[in-house]
């Protein structure tokens, strides 16, 4: 095959390889079925999976490379998961254009992640963003890769549908938000108002910080508003994905009503 098994394994292990080649790998039947057909580059399956699911392999578009006779032991060596499902796909990264989202005719709803490190958190946030109607998710370069295998699995397919952007110049990005009339709200312990006391019906972006350190001073100070999520008991902070979910759904609620 054009893609050697070594190259597939490198795509799973290395963010640099994924960035350079513009490709990533998904594992499992669900993620294979939800993958955009036009983005498929190669498909690898075990003999057992091919025998049990012949109709799935017949529906793969012409031109996609298919290897469907791999021994289970060899296939397991390709996979990031401990219990592989017998199929994986090499997929072309989507090409989202920032201008398509900052120039929305409607008031966009965005999310910005600063230096998140946990793949499960990042994937859960992408999945929740799709459910809550978020238009795009942005992150700093030091945030965990959206296309990390664990992140992909946590998205449950939302990786294909939620536009994602990496922001290299954060001050310039905030300037563009300002010019596009998008107001920024930072989840922060210094917030004066509770999150449900603000209006998110206009262009809105929520800023979520690193799991351990929260938002940096520079990003928090660039926000138009600092908001807090009230917490009872002795809890000092919420999980990043939970905090993001609360804010996204509050914005969705306001926009529906």
Domain assignments of the chain as residue spans, ordered by start: 5-92, 99-256
Confidence of residue 104 (pLDDT cuts 50, 70, 90): low
Q: What pLDDT is attached to residue 148?
A: 95
Q: What pLDDT is attached to residue 109?
A: 96
Burial of 121 (0-12, 13-18, 19+ CB in 10 A): buried
| Percent of the chain whose predicted confidence (pLDDT) is above 70 | 98
Angle between helices 240-256 and 119-132 (to 10 degrees): 10
Q: Check: CATH 3.30.1330.30 for 5-92?
A: yes
Instruction: Count Cβ atoms below 10 Å from residue 99 Cβ, excluding itself.
Output: 9
- pLDDT at residue 39 tops 90: yes
- pLDDT at residue 114 tops 90: yes
**Which CATH class for the 99-256 domain?**
alpha beta
Stated pTM of the model: 0.91
- pLDDT at residue 113 tops 90: yes
pLDDT (tens digit per residue) in 193-241: 999 999 999 999 999 998 888 899 999 999 999 999 988 888 777 889 9
């Amino acid at each position: 095959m054009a893609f050697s098994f070594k190259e597939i394994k490198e795509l799973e292990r290395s963010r640099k390889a994924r960035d350079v080649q513009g490709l990533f790998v998904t594992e499992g039947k669900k993620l294979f079925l939800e993958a955009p057909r036009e983005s498929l580059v190669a498909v690898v399956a075990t003999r057992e999976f091919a025998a049990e699911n012949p109709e799935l392999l017949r529906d793969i578009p012409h031109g996609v490379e298919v290897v469907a006779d791999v021994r289970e032991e060899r296939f397991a060596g390709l996979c990031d998961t401990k219990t592989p499902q017998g199929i994986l796909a090499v997929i072309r990264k989507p090409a989202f254009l920032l201008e398509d989202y900052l120039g929305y005719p409607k008031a966009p709803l965005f999310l910005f992640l600063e230096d998140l490190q946990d793949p499960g958190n990042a994937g859960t946030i992408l999945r929740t963003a799709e459910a809550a109607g978020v238009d795009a998710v942005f992150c700093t370069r030091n945030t965990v890769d959206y296309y990390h295998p664990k992140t992909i699995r946590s998205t449950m397919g939302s990786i294909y549908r939620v536009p994602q952007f990496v922001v290299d110049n954060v001050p310039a990005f905030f300037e563009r938000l300002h010019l596009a009339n998008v107001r920024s709200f930072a989840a922060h312990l210094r917030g004066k108002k509770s999150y449900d006391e603000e209006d998110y019906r206009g262009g809105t972006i929520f800023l979520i910080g690193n799991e351990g350190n929260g938002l940096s001073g520079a990003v928090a100070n660039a926000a138009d508003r600092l908001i807090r999520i009230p917490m009872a008991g002795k809890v000092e902070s919420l999980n990043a994905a939970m905090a993001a979910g609360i804010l996204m759904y509050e914005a969705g609620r306001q926009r529906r009503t």
